[in-house]
Chains A and B, each alone.
Chain A
Amino acid sequence: MPEEGMEDNKEGEERPKWNNKAEYLLTCIGFAVGLGNVWRFPYLCQIYGGGAFLIPYLIALVFQGLPLLYLELAIGQRLRMGSIGVWNSISPYLGGVGVASMLVSFCVSLFYNTIVAWVLWYLFNSFQEPLPWSQCPLNHNNTGYVEECVESTPVNYFWYRQTLNITPNMETSGSLQWWLVVSLATAWSIVYICFVRGIKTIGKAVYVTATFPYLVLTIFLVRALTLPGAYEGLIYLFTPDWEILKNPQVWLDAATQIFFSLSVAFGGLISFSSYNSQKNNCEKDAVLVGVINSATSIYASIPIFAILGFKAHTNYVTCLNGNILALTNEFDISDMNITVENYEQWFDSLNGTHPSRVSDLKLKTCDLQTFLDQSASGTGLAFIVFTEAVISMPGSQVWAVLFFIMLFSLGLSSMFGNLEGILTPLHDLKLVPKWMPNELFTAIICLLLFLMALIFCLGSGNYWLEIFNSYVGSVPFLIIAFFEIIAVAYIYGIGRFSDDLEFMTGHRPNIFWKVCWLVISPLMLFVVLVAYVAVQAQTPPTYAAWNPDYVNFPNTEVLPYPDWVFAICVLLSSVPVISIPLVAIYRLICCMSGRHSKDSLHNNPNPYANEDYVVELLL
C-alpha cells in the first residue's frame, strides 16, 4: 500500500478543489448554457407553435433532464474521478462508457471551438465603420459591385465568401483560409489560458463568461422592446398553436433539445463535480442548473424574437418603399404623397385607372407574415439573420460587438466542459507521464485539437462541421446516456446509490427520483433514441451547398452526400460508442484469464466501491 500511496501523491498534491461553491455552480451553468440556448431553442419555439412548445419541453426537462443531471453530478462527486474512472468503478464492464464520453467530447471540442473561432472573426470585424457585411464590395475594375453579392445579399456574401470562402460542394476541398486559421489559433489560445492552472483559472474565468451573457441579453431585451416591429415578433413567437402537440416530431425535438442543452453524457459534469467535497448537496445543484438552463433559453428567446420581429418589419417597410418609389416615378406623383400608411388606397386607385401600367411595374407583394416566417437557427441565425438586423439598428457597431462577445462567452464556457471531459479522464487513467507538468500536457492536447480542427478551416469546412454536428453531436450521446442510467440504476444498484446520496446530501432520494431513474428516464431515452435513428434513417442524407453558379442562386443547392462522406458519417456515429461493447468484451476476456481482479484493486483504491464482490458474484 505505501508504494501505491506514493504513486497517488507523485506531486504531493491532493485532488484540486473548487475555491467556493459559486465557482462550481457558475462553471456547471456555463457549461450547460451554450450557443444552443440562444440559437436553437427560439427557432424550435417558433416552428413548433410558440408557447405550446414549452409543454413538451418542460415535461422533458422534469422527467429526463433533471434525473440525468442529478445522476451525473452525484456519481462524480461520490467517486471523485473523471468519466473513465467513474464508470470503471461502477462496473469494469461498463468502462467503455467513459471512453465513449471522452471520445465524443474530443470530437465535439474540435468543431465547437471552430464555431467560437467564427464568432471571434465576426467580433474582430465589428470594430469597423461601416460594418463590412452592410455593403457589397466593388469588383475588380470599380465599375459595379461584385456579382455574387448583388445576387444574394451583402450579409450572405460576407458569411459565405469573405468568412468561409466556401466551395460549391464537398468534393472540392479548397485551401486553408488563413484568416480562419488565425481566428482558430486565438480561440484555442484563449481556451488554453483559462485551462493553464486547471480549475483554479477556470473558476476565475467563469465569473465573467457565465454572467456576461445575461447582462448582454438584458441590454438587448431593453433595446429590442423599443424597436418598431418587436411587438409583432413577440406575438408571433409566443402565440400558442395547441394543434402542434399532436405531432410526435415536436416531442422528439423537445426531448433531444433538453438533452443536448444540458450537456450530459459529455463527462464534463462528472469531472466538475468530482472536484467537490463529498458532503455537498448535489440534488439542489442539479435542480438549480437544470432550471437555470431552461430559464435562460426562454429568457434568451425574448430579445431574439423582438429583434427578428424588428428585422421583418424593416424588410417589410423596405419592400413597400420600393413599390412606392416605382409607383411615384411611373405616375409622376408628388414626392412622398404615397406613404406606407396610404399605400393600399393609392395602389387600388391607380390599379383601377391604369391597370396595365401598374402590372408592367412588376411590384413585389409585401407581406409581414412572410418576412416573419423566415426563420433560421444555428449559424444562420447568428451570422446572417442577426447581423442583418444589427445593421438597421442605430449604433450598429456597439450592438454587433455586444452580441458577438456574448456568443463568445457562451461558447467559451461550454468549451471548458468539453475540454474537461477529455483532460480529467486522461489524468485519472494516469496516462500523463510523471515528468510532464500539467500545463505542458494541457498545451499538447490543445495543440493537437487545434491541428485537427484545421480541416474546418478549409473551403469545404462548413460542410464538414455540419456533418460533425449532426452525426457526432447526437446519436452517440443518447446511447451513452442510456448506458449511464442503466449502469447506475441497475448494475450499481439503486439501493447503493441511495445510500451514497444519503451520505452526500443528508437524505435519501424521494420516490420521484427513484421512479425516474428506474423506469421513466431509461424508457424516454430509449424511445427518443429509436425515434431519432428512425427519423434520421428516413431523411435522405443531403446537404445545402452554396454554389454561385447554381441556376436558382441565391437559393442553396441541395446535394447528396458522396459515398465516402456518408461512410465517414456512419463512422463518426458509431466509433465513439463502439468502445462500450469493446471494453466489455475485453474485460470479459481478461476476467476469464484471471488477471482482472488484480487490475481493479490497483486502479481503484476507493474503499467504498468494492467491486471485488461484484466480480465474484458474476463469476
Chain B
Amino acid sequence: MRCLRMLVRILVLLYLAGAPALAQTLCQPNASNGYRVRISIKTALGNQAYEWNENEMFLFRATMAFAMRRYYKTETYNVDNIIVCNQTRRVSFWFVVISPENPTMLIPKADVEKAVSMSRHRINNAFLLTDRTLEFLGIYPTLAEPVNPDTPPWLIVFGVVIGAVFAGIIALLVSSLLQKRRKEKGMMEDGQDEEDRQMKGVENGINLDGIYNRGFTDDDRFTKL
C-alpha cells in the first residue's frame, strides 16, 4: 500500500515537474498552432517608450487569456494557458495557447486568430500600440471602415457656393432691372419739357442732347498755345 502511494506521489511530482517542460516543448518557433508576435514600442511611442521586460510579458499573457475568455465566453482561461518562447531583442516572440482542461492540447490556430481579432482593439490599447506596431504575423487587421457620411461633404460645400452665386446673380439682375425702370420713369416724367431734359440729361449721366461726337474730344491737342 505504502509503495503504491509513493508511486502515485512520485508520478504526481514528475507530472507537476514535467508539465512546464512539456508545455515548453509545445511552444516552438514555426509551431503549427502558434503565432509570432512582433512589437515596435520605440516606433510607436518615441521618447515615451517603455521597456519590454517580464512584467510586460506577464501583461501580454494576461491580455491573451482575457481574449480567449471573451471569445469562448468562459472563465476557465488563465495566464498559465499562454506559453511564450523564443523572445528576441526585436522585440518578437512566439506564443501558443493550451487548453485549460487538457494541458497537452493546443487550441487550434483558427480559434486563436478569431479570439485575437475580436479583442484586437483592447489588446492594442493595453500596450498603447496600434495594429502596425503590435503585429500578429498571419493575423491581418480588419481594415478600418471608412466613415461614409450620408451626404458627401463636397456636395455640401458645392451647395453653399452655388446658392451664394445664384443669389448674387439674381440680386444683380433685379437691381439692374430696377435701375433701368427708374431711368425710364425719369425720362418719361420730363419728356414734355425740352429745357428740363437738357439739364436732366447730364444729371443722369446719359447724353440726351445729341450724339457723342468723338471728333471733338481731342481738341485741346490742337489748341495748345
What is A's interface to B at a CB cutoff of 8 Å? Answer: 1-2, 5-6, 8-9, 12-14, 120-121, 123-125, 127-128, 135, 137-138, 142-145, 182-183, 185-186, 189-190, 192-193, 196-197, 201, 278, 328-329, 332-336, 437, 439, 503, 605-607
Q: 24 A-B Cβ contacts within 8 A?
A: A5-B211, A6-B211, A9-B207, A12-B206, A14-B207, A124-B154, A138-B146, A145-B143, A185-B162, A186-B158, A193-B169, A196-B169, A196-B172, A197-B176, A278-B217, A333-B89, A333-B90, A334-B90, A335-B42, A335-B43, A336-B43, A439-B173, A503-B221, A605-B214
Contact B165 A190 (CB under 8 A): yes
Contacts A8-B212, A335-B42: A138 and B218 contacting too (C-beta < 8 A)?
no
B143 near A335 with CB under 8 A, answer no
- Bound-state CA distance A2–B89 (Å) is 101
Answer yes or no: B41 CB below 8 A from chain A CBs.
Answer: yes
CB distance from A205 to the nearest CB of B (A): 11
Among the listed A124, A186, A193, A278, which residue makes an inter-chain contact with B218, where contact means beta carbons less than 8 Å apart? A278
Choose from B146, B161, B207 the contact partner of A137 (Cβ within 8 Å): B146
- Per a CB cutoff under 8 Å, which of B154, B207, B221 touches A125? B154
Given contacts A9-B212, A196-B169, contact A124 B157 (CB under 8 A): yes
> Which chain A residues lie closer than 8 Å to B18 at the CB level?
none
Q: Is the CB of B173 within 8 A of A12?
A: no
Q: Which residue of A lies closest to B137 (CB)?
A: A329
CB distance from A307 to the nearest CB of B (A): 24
**A-contact bits for B72-105, CB 8 A (1 contact / 0 none):** 0000000000000000111110000000000000
Across-interface contacts of B161 in A (CB, < 8 A) = 120, 124, 186
Contacts of A125 in B (CB 8 A): 153-154
Residues of chain A within 8 A (CB-CB) of B168 are: 193
Kindly identify which residue among B41, B212, B218, B221 contacts A14, using a CB–CB cutoff of 8 Å: B212
- Do A127 and B208 have beta carbons less than 8 Å apart? no
- Given the known interface contacts A124-B154, A128-B153, A332-B89, the answer about A192 and B169 at a Cβ–Cβ threshold of 8 Å is yes
Enumerate chain B interface residues (CB-CB to A < 8 A).
38-43, 88-92, 143, 145-146, 153-158, 161-162, 165-166, 168-169, 172-173, 176, 180, 206-208, 210-212, 214-215, 217-218, 221
New A-B pairs, 4, CB < 8 Å, besides A182-B158, A439-B176: A14-B207, A124-B155, A128-B154, A196-B173
Tell me how far the C-beta of A401 lies from the nearest C-beta in chain B, rounded to whole angstroms: 10
Write the chain B residue with the least CB distance to A145: B143
In the complex, what residues of B have CB within 8 A of residue A1's CB? 211
Shortest distance from the beta carbon of A296 to any chain B beta carbon, whole Å: 26
CB of B150, distance to nearest CB on chain A (Å): 14
The docked-state distance in angstroms from the alpha carbon of A315 to that of B214 is 65
For the complex, give the distance between the alpha carbons of A189 and B162 in Å: 8
Give Cα distance in the complex from A572 to B214, angstroms: 40
In the complex, chain A residues whose CB is within 8 Å of the CB of B221: 503
Chain B nearest Cβ from A452, distance in angstroms: 21
Contact of B211 (CB < 8 Å), options: A9, A124, A193? A9
- Name which of B88, B145, B153, B158 has the most chain A CB atoms within 10 A of its CB: B158
- Which 8 residue pairs spanning A and B have beta carbons closest together? A5-B211, A124-B154, A336-B42, A332-B88, A332-B90, A12-B206, A607-B215, A124-B157
Whole-angstrom CA separation of A488 from B172 in the bound complex: 40
CA distance A135 to B176 in the complex (A): 48
By the criterion CB–CB under 8 Å, are A124 and B214 in contact? Answer: no
Please determine whether A138 and B143 come into contact, CB atoms closer than 8 angstroms. Answer: yes
A residues in contact with B166, CB < 8 Å = 189
A198 CB to closest chain B CB (Å) equals 11
Contact assessment for B154 and A127 in the assembled complex, using a CB-CB cutoff below 8 Å: yes
B31 CB to closest chain A CB (Å) equals 18
Instruction: Count CB-based A-B contacts (< 8 Å).
Output: 101
**Shortest distance between the CB of A189 and any CB in chain B (Å):** 5
A6–B207 CA distance with the chains assembled, in angstroms? 11
Is there an interface contact between A8 and B211, defined as CB atoms closer than 8 Å? yes
**Shortest CB distance A268–B (Å):** 22
The distance in angstroms between the C-alpha atoms of A176 and B10, with both chains bound, is: 85
- Closest chain-A Cβ to B225's Cβ sits at a distance in Å of 17
Complex alpha-carbon distance, A144 and B143, angstroms: 7
Complex Cα spacing A138 to B143, Å:
8
CB distance from B147 to the nearest CB of A (A): 9
Write out the residue numbers on chain B whose beta carbons fall within 8 Å of the beta carbon of A329.
38, 90
Cross-chain contact B90 with A201 (CB below 8 angstroms): no
Q: In the bound complex, do residue B143 and residue A2 qualify as a contact, i.e. CB atoms below 8 Å apart?
A: no
Q: Provide the residues of chain A in CB contact with B41, threshold 8 Å.
A: 335
Give the chain B neighbours of A333 by CB distance below 8 A.
89-90
Contacts of A182 in B (CB 8 A): 158
- Nearest CB on A from B45, distance (A): 10
Give the residue name and chain of the A residue nearest to B158 (CB): A124
Chain A residue, CB-CB nearest to B39: A335
Give every chain B residue within 8 A of A332 (Cβ-Cβ). 88-90, 92
Cβ-defined partner of B40 (8 Å) among A123, A183, A193, A335: A335
A8 contact set on B, CB distance < 8 A: 211-212
A201 x B172 contact (CB < 8 A): yes
Q: Please, how many angstroms separate the alpha-carbon atoms of A144 and B158 in the complex?
A: 31
Cα separation A196 to B167 with both chains bound (whole Å)? 13
A571→B23 CA distance, assembly (Å): 83
Give min CB distance, A128 to chain B, whole Å. Answer: 5
Contact of B208 among A12, A124, A185, A437 (CB under 8 A): A12
> Who on chain A is nearest to B41 by CB?
A335
Cβ of B207 and Cβ of A12 under 8 Å apart?
yes
Is B165 a contact partner of A607 (Cβ separation < 8 A)? Answer: no
A328 vs B165: C-alpha distance in the bound complex, in angstroms?
A: 57
Q: How far is the CA of A415 from the CA of B122 in the complex (A)?
A: 56
What B residues does A137 contact at CB under 8 A?
A: 146
Give min CB distance, B76 to chain A, whole Å: 33
Given A12-B208, A144-B143, are A606 and B214 also a contact pair (CB < 8 Å)? Answer: yes
For B145, give its contact among A121, A123, A142 (CB under 8 Å): A142
Q: In the bound complex, how far is the Cα of B91 from the Cα of A334, in angstroms? A: 7
- With contacts A332-B89, A335-B40 known, is A2 near B211, CB below 8 A? yes
Contacts of B155 in A (CB 8 A): 124
Per the bound structure, the CA–CA distance linking A605 and B90 in Å amounts to 90
**A35 CB, min distance to chain B CBs, angstroms:** 20
Interchain CA distance A333-B90 in the complex, whole Å:
5
Q: Is the CB of A328 within 8 A of B172?
A: no
Chain A hits for B165, CB < 8 A: 186, 189-190, 193
Query: Which of the listed residues B92, B173, B210 has the most CB atoms from chain A within 10 Å of its own CB?
Result: B173
Contact B89 A193 (CB under 8 A): no
A12-B206, A13-B206, A142-B143 in contact; A335/B90 too (CB < 8 A)?
A: yes
Q: Is the CB of A121 within 8 A of B208?
A: no
Which of A8, A123, A334 has the most chain B CB atoms closer than 10 A to its own CB? A334
Report the minimal beta-carbon distance from A503 to chain B, rounded to whole angstroms: 6
CA distance A329 to B89 in the complex (A): 11
**Which B residues are in CB contact (< 8 Å) with A190?**
165
B210 to chain A, nearest CB (A): 8
Most chain A CB neighbours (cut-off 10 Å) among B38, B92, B211, B217: B211
B221 closest partner in A (C-beta): A503
Q: A144 — which chain B residues lie within 8 A by C-beta?
A: 143
Query: Which residue of chain B lies nearest to A329 when distances are taken between CB atoms in the complex?
Result: B38
With a CB–CB cut-off of 8 A, which chain A residues contact B162? 185-186, 189
| Contact A503 to B88, CB < 8 A, known contacts A182-B158, A186-B158, A186-B161 | no
